Amino acid sequence: MNLAVVHSRARVGVRAPEVRVEVHLAGGLPAMSIVGLPEAAVREAKDRVRAAIQCAQLEFPARRITINLAPADLPKDGGRFDLAIALGILAASGQLPTEALEDWEFLGELALTGEIRAVDGVLAAALAAGDCGRRLLVAPANGAEAALASQVEVRTARTLLEVCAALEARKELPIVRPTLQQVTAGPDLADVRGQMLARRALEIAAAGGHHLLLVGPPGSGKTLLASRLAGILPEPGDSEALETASIASASRQGLDLTRWRQRPFRAPHHTASAVALVGGGADPRPGEISLAHHGVLFLDELPEWSRHALEVLREPLESGSVSIARAARQCEFPARFQLVAAMNPCPCGWAGDPSGRCLCNDEQIRRYRARISGPLLERIDLHVEVPRLPPMQLRTDGPSGEPSAAVRVRVLAARARQQARSAATNARLDQSQTNAFCRLTARDSALLERAVDALQLSARSLHRILRVARTIADLAGSEVIDTPHLTEAIGYRKLERGRERAAA
């Protein structure tokens, strides 16, 4: 037998396409060539695989070895195929039974000593291996992450020798059972004192999936509020949790297993680059907006963000995903996040504060707010002011706020109504659904038109007001949108008043 085929997987963005490692031995001068890998990666893989085989006291065949990684057009970052290549060489040279390899997939970098090292993006690979009905072998450090994919048998091995022993049925490798992580509760709304208006807006945002903008002076608790949104959202389902975890697994930071089944809360700094925010790079990695998939993206100091960074947010805010084109390659990352943005009311931060310490004039305030483009502001459904509280209300021995668990009960009830009606959150109703499900009485329609005129709002904003009104009615358990629901919804768009809108 001079030929062996071993299954492995590449990492492309958050996907894990299959790679066939084909090894062929022929007569002639001893040499090893690898087809289908970039030059530098080939050199390194050759050295590691040869050393690992020799260190394991196995025979490195003195023949002409050709290794083909198919398909050829996949990006293949170096180390993850080492183990598959080494096993292919051993099988092709008769040192391993080739048929033992058939129902396995292998993923791991080899150290020169033959030790198997962890690689990234293992969760996506495990999910895909399960779909193909194969077992997966990874390094011990990758075991727990791979086992999150419950449809696949995951085993781990520490060294190349251990894998050989298992394939020859001389040794049993440990199966990794999914460890049920205790879901740790995030920060609680009970810590937020006062701020009834902002708490109300947060609850509406959670109930309908709406984006939210908090406007208030420094220290008013905007970050405190934003970080509590994830905790009042419904628990993610299995597929949502796996999607979120797969993205983290493909990121540079990797997956943090202690955050499994928690909705993500991402709060990048305003100096973050557009690539850090939306993803990219030569080997495209997910950015903050994808790491916030099914969770919350918090952008503090919104006017301080570069215009470019905010502009690239617009596409994912609409579509729930972002596509990144790099040379010949296109990557699509999911990015269905809920945006919570925060800003000061004026450059100094104190406009409207009873202390009167703000000295900004109207023009300065107008220019400051105009840094956020109209089209972006338009896509944020709820604008709410978060005033600084008098010290009396902030006393830690005073009454605490309503806890997250109680708020979440109302959120879940409102979401159940939406599911039954349209199988989606209100924020994601399209225009025809909005017309069908957000009907107003003739009197309320006239009221809304007057408000749209007075606030100089666009048609897009008008539809967004209707969807927020629908959510407010759902929270009230009402099948019809009543006047108070509508007026409250209109009240959340005040920041748009009098803005001249740039073309979308």
Asked if residue 343 binds Zn ion (CB under 5 A), the reply is no
Name the residue nearer to Zn ion (CB basis): 152 or 351. 351
Number of residues that bind Zn ion (CB under 5 A): 5
Query: Segment near Zn ion (CB under 5 A), from 9-17, 99-107, 131-139, 355-363?
Result: 355-363
Strands 265-266 and 296-299: parallel
- In the list 74, 348, 370, 462, the residue contacting Zn ion (rule: CB under 5 A) is 348
Task: Reply yes or no: is the peptide bond before residue 217 cis, omega within 30 of 0.
Answer: no
Which CB sits closer to Zn ion, 67 or 346? 346
Binding segment for Zn ion (CB under 5 A), chosen from 225-233, 254-262, 348-356, 438-446, is 348-356
297/346 with CB nearer Zn ion: 346
Instruction: Count the residues in the chain.
Output: 504
Q: How far is the CB of 414 from Zn ion (least distance, A)?
A: 37
Choice from 122, 167, 360, 377 touching Zn ion (CB under 5 A): 360
358 binds Zn ion (CB under 5 A): yes
Own/partner pairs, 343-346, CB within 8 angstroms, 24+ separation = 343/213, 343/214, 343/215, 343/301, 343/302, 343/303, 343/372, 344/215, 344/216, 344/217, 344/218, 344/301, 344/303, 345/215, 345/216, 345/217, 345/385
Segment interacting with Zn ion (CB under 5 A) among 79-87, 98-106, 345-353, 383-391 = 345-353
Question: Which of these, 337, 215, 332, 323, lies nearest to 267 by C-alpha position?
Answer: 337
Angstrom distance (rounded) from CA 70 to CA 373: 47
DSSP 8-class letter at 29: S
CB of 309 to Zn ion, least distance (A): 24
Q: Given candidates 110, 125, 351, 457, which one binds Zn ion under the rule CB under 5 A?
A: 351
Q: Is the Cβ of residue 364 or residue 433 nearer to Zn ion in the bound state? A: 364
268 or 349: whose CB is closer to Zn ion?
349
Q: What is the DSSP letter of 126?
A: H
User: Would you state the structure tokens that stand for residue 226, as one six-digit string?
Assistant: 């934003």
Name the β-bridge partners of 23: 4, 67
Q: Shortest gap between Cβ of 374 and Zn ion (angstroms)? A: 22
Residues in contact with 24: Cβ distance below 8 Å, sequence separation at least 6, in sequence order: 2, 3, 65, 66, 67, 68, 92
**Contact call for residue 111 and Zn ion (CB under 5 A):** no
The nearer residue to Zn ion, 171 or 494, going by C-beta atoms, is 494
Quick check: 346 binds Zn ion (CB under 5 A)? Answer: yes
Beta carbons within 10 angstroms of residue 87's beta carbon: 29
Which residues are near Zn ion by CB under 5 A?
346, 348, 351, 358, 360
